[in-house]
Amino acid sequence: MEIRKAGDKILKEKALPVTKIDRKIKRLLDEMAETMYRAEGVGLAAPQVGVSLRVVVIDAGDGLLELINPVIVEMEGRETGTEGCLSIPGIYGEVERYEKVTVEGLNREGKKVRIQGTGLLSRALQHELDHLEGILFIELAKSLHKGKGNG
């Protein structure tokens, strides 16, 4: 799958909810995970691969998470950290996020899942869910710079 870059209008659209988890959605999850790993990313949202659906994949170091129609239901604390994005290569920024979040969504089997995240997982969850709202991290960043980051 091709990762869309900043300037592509799909990245600014609010993604649509998934109404039915079928083979197409499962294939989308598989292809998104493969694309994310190949690009050495931490997360990927469906709009980043040109699909306007509320689907994200994340691997913050503890294995693959697949979320369909994810929603943040609890948040706690604030912290600022460096972020990057596969859709904005080579640019990093300091973004304030919640320190801890709880996200609910569906897994590939349609079962409700609840994920609590701190550190990189919390940041990745918030970053990817922003993509579903058409928000890019550069719009939230206090500062931007070129070079290396942990995104």
79 φ, ψ to 5°?
-155, 155
Is 145 assigned to a binding site? Answer: no
The radius of gyration of the chain's CA atoms, rounded to the nearest angstrom, is: 14
User: From CA 39, how far away is CA 31, in angstroms rounded?
Assistant: 12
Task: Kindly report each contact of residues 65-68 with a partner whose C-beta sits within 8 Å and lies 24 or more positions away, as own/partner.
Answer: 65/115, 66/29, 66/33, 66/107, 66/108, 67/103, 67/105, 67/106, 67/107, 67/113, 67/115, 68/18, 68/21, 68/25, 68/29, 68/105, 68/106, 68/107, 68/108
Candidates 2, 94, 96, 128; catalytic one: 128
**Spatial CA neighbour of 26 closest among 15, 34, 16:** 34
| Catalytic residue flag (residue 128) | yes
Catalytic residues: 128
Binding site for Fe cation: residue ranges?
85, 127, 131
Which residues are known binding-site members?
Answer: 85, 127, 131
